Amino acid sequence: MTDAELVARCRTGEDQAWNELVERFSRYVYAIATQAFRLSPSDAEDVFQEVFARVYEHLDRLRNDDAVRPWIAQLTRRLCIDRLRSAGREGPVGDEELEIAEVDESLARLDEAMTVRAGLEAVGENCREVLDRFFCRDESYRVIGEALDLPAGTIASRISRCLSKLKAELEGRSEPVRPS
């Protein structure tokens, strides 16, 4: 399901679609708050909930449903900055400009990461699961093997095979990486 299709279903009030939307973008919002802006866990949680509250409240105002990802990124960015400002943690102007450049770089990387993650949807459940467990959840071969009922010795080759499959999937897409 595309982002636009998911947004359309959310607008009809479908609970399952909302659950899917939160699931799809939760890592993105979390990463922006904790990696790009380095918020504390407490501040990051407040921003995280605020982002989804506003998305839920203002989804009708989104003019282009395909743009939900940059919209969420922008919203998260703004709320993170508000949070830092309200805490009085802004540095001198020079430092702030430097930080903004770093933040923008980080946001661009996270946007690319979301593009790669979207490619996972096309490689099948087995590959999605093993790649997510190994790279995103940092699980060991043993833990993955136990969870998926596979011999631990086969996990490395499966990861390699699935990465190649994901690479082929991404290369087959003509859509360029969108900046945040």
Partner 1 sequence: MSSMTGYDEVRIAELLRLLPPAPLGWVRAAQELPAARIEIAGLVARAEADAGFRARVIADLESALEAEGIEATPSVVAALRSRLESD
DSSP secondary-structure letter at 87? T
Which secondary structure element, helix H or strand E, spans residue 7, and what is its range? helix 3-11
As a whole number of angstroms, the distance between CA 134 and CA 25 comes to 20
In the set 88, 94, 153, 176, which binds partner 1 (CB under 8 A)? 176
- The two tokens of residue 117 are 């993650």
Q: Is 38 in the site for partner 1 (CB under 8 A)?
A: no
**Closer residue to partner 1 (CB): 150 or 170:** 170
Q: Is 166 in the site for partner 1 (CB under 8 A)?
A: yes
As a whole number of angstroms, the distance between CA 126 and CA 76 comes to 32
In the set 4, 8, 9, 18, which binds partner 1 (CB under 8 A)? 18
Q: How far is the CB of 165 from partner 1 (least distance, A)?
A: 10
Residues 56-95 that bind partner 1 (CB under 8 A): 56-58
| Angstrom distances, CA of residue 5 to CA of 14, 64, 161, 170 | 12, 11, 30, 21
Q: Is 48 in the site for partner 1 (CB under 8 A)?
A: yes
As a whole number of angstroms, the distance between CA 1 and CA 4 comes to 8
Q: How far is the CB of 100 from partner 1 (least distance, A)?
A: 19
**Closer residue to partner 1 (CB): 84 or 131:** 131
Residues 102-161 that bind partner 1 (CB under 8 A): 109-110, 112-117, 119-120, 131-132, 135-138, 160
Burial 92-123 (b: 16+ CB within 10 A, else e): eeeeeeebeeebeebbeebbebbbebbbbeeb
Chain positions contacting partner 1, by CB under 8 A: 13, 15, 18-19, 22-23, 26-31, 35, 45-46, 48-50, 52-54, 56-58, 109-110, 112-117, 119-120, 131-132, 135-138, 160, 163-164, 166-167, 170-171, 173-177, 179
